[in-house]
Structure 1
């Protein structure tokens, strides 16, 4: 299976070529693309609200323990986390809502302030694709079992230049070690 990053890149390049042929100078075309952008964001928020209702309806209170890696370059110790599947999914969904709002904010600045029109078309499609490919949607909408790559906790997305802050550990020894050694940010004198 092709990775989502590769398909996103191919899709972006194709949409960039398509957007060069779109006559954005025509007010009707520009209005249509703006409507497409708004409709795609409404669709995403509707999807996320549906996922939220499914999470709340399931009330999966299974305990989930893992070790969250320290932020890259912080010098902190890995942090033990004990939560429920329901709360973990809510947190992940909250992060997706925030990411979507940040994308909208950036698009508003780019379009209204800097007068870019081409990204409207691209950002009408890529976020919908990403939302449909998210682990929460796969589990709660498409009904896929939470095993393998969908087993919680999910691997954190790679950051800039493929760097991550570390791997999330779920084995019993790592969790117990982190619980024993974690001081909650208290510094020694």
Structure 2
């Protein structure tokens, strides 16, 4: 089962379980709030721990790839030259920003809109997202950097299998370097 279908199946299952939870009971709602807060603290703590592990490893291996442009823009693909350390830190930073965005959305939905069911769902889905994070798999779980975990990470396939990730082949890198050299001469 591919990742988006699996994500959808798990979220639908969690939503069905959440329907059975009596959120009207103040004590249960209190425990759900505590569970949500604890899960978000665990997620953020793990991401910050991953950042510290990346910094302590300090892998200065050079990583070159051609970043896929936004399909809606007319921009040309950009050549990116970085280190494994900086690449992993930027990917972890994206995960931290995503966690903060989710917390802000849940705060709005729960405090202003008075929705309670998403607290339960996001507490569980956030922990699943933590397990699925590629930098967590590499630096905490100790998985090898091969296949889907090979840097630069491929974009997760969409619901219909479409994906546009970075190009790492020598021809694409050479083409991007020639384009940069031609612009510098102008």
TM-score, shorter chain, exceeding 0.5: yes
5+ residue gaps, structure 2, are: none
Conserved? CA contact 2:4–2:157, under 8 Å: no
Structure-2 separation of matches of 1:3 and 1:157: 10
Conserved? CA contact 1:78–1:182, under 8 Å: no
Structure-1 separation of matches of 2:78 and 2:159: 23
**SS of structure 2 residue aligned to 1:143:** coil
Structure-2 separation of matches of 1:37 and 1:14: 18
Q: How big is the shift at 1:42?
A: 0.5
Conserved? CA contact 1:56–1:86, under 8 Å: yes
Q: 1:178 matched to which residue of 2?
A: 176
Q: 1:82 matched to which residue of 2?
A: 81
Structure-2 separation of matches of 1:129 and 1:62: 30
**SS of structure 2 residue aligned to 1:170:** coil
What CA RMSD, in Å, does the superposition of the two structures yield over aligned residues? Answer: 2.1
Q: 2:2 matched to which residue of 1?
A: 3
Q: What is the number of equivalent residue pairs in this alignment?
A: 184
Q: 1:33 matched to which residue of 2?
A: 32
Stretch deviating more after TM superposition (173-182 or 93-102):
173-182
5+ residue gaps, structure 1, are: none
Conserved? CA contact 2:54–2:88, under 8 Å: yes
Structure-2 separation of matches of 1:162 and 1:49: 31
- Aligned with residue 166 of structure 2, among 147, 163, 168: 168
Structure-2 separation of matches of 1:92 and 1:145: 17
After superposition, the C-alpha distances for 1:65-115 in whole angstroms (9 at most, x for unaligned) are 000011111000000000000000000000000111111111111111111
Q: 2:71 matched to which residue of 1?
A: 72
Structure-1 separation of matches of 2:159 and 2:89: 25
Q: TM-score, normalised by structure 1?
A: 0.90
After superposition, the C-alpha distances for 1:92-140 in whole angstroms (9 at most, x for unaligned) are 0000001111111111111111111111100000011111111101110
Q: How big is the shift at 1:158?
A: 4.5
Structure-2 separation of matches of 1:66 and 1:96: 21
